[in-house]
Amino acid sequence: MWPPNHAADGIRINAVFPETLHTDGLERAGAQARADVARTLPLRRLGQPAEVARAILWSHWQPVARPLIGHR
């Protein structure tokens, strides 16, 4: 489904693809494991679940985000 095909119908299709997040499993793995994973990521850090939640909320409820219709 290509988002612009449905934009005229008022249907917005978006997705969030976060990097690796700081999870309970990575917390249990220890600081060295987290640092090793972070070094493999483009931003060189683990994302936080709250950061992803804020991005999703912003994309769905902010008037400035209404023109966003996704990307192929």
For residues 18 and 46, what is the distance between their CA atoms, to the nearest angstrom? 10
Structure tokens at 22: 């700081």
Give the per-residue pLDDT at 17.
Answer: 83
Task: Report which residue type is found at 1.
Answer: M
pLDDT digits (tens, 9 = 90+) for 26-69: 999 999 999 999 999 999 999 999 999 988 887 777 666 666 65
Give the per-residue pLDDT at 65.
Answer: 60
Residue 13 has pLDDT above 80, yes or no: no
Q: Hey, what's the torsion of the CAs at 36, 37, 39, 40, to 10 degrees?
A: 130
For residues 54 and 60, what is the distance between their CA atoms, to the nearest angstrom? 10
Grade residue 12 by pLDDT with cuts at 50, 70 and 90.
low
pTM score, two decimals? 0.64
Residue 1 has pLDDT above 70, yes or no: no
Asked if 38 contacts 10 with a C-beta cutoff of 8 angstroms, the reply is no
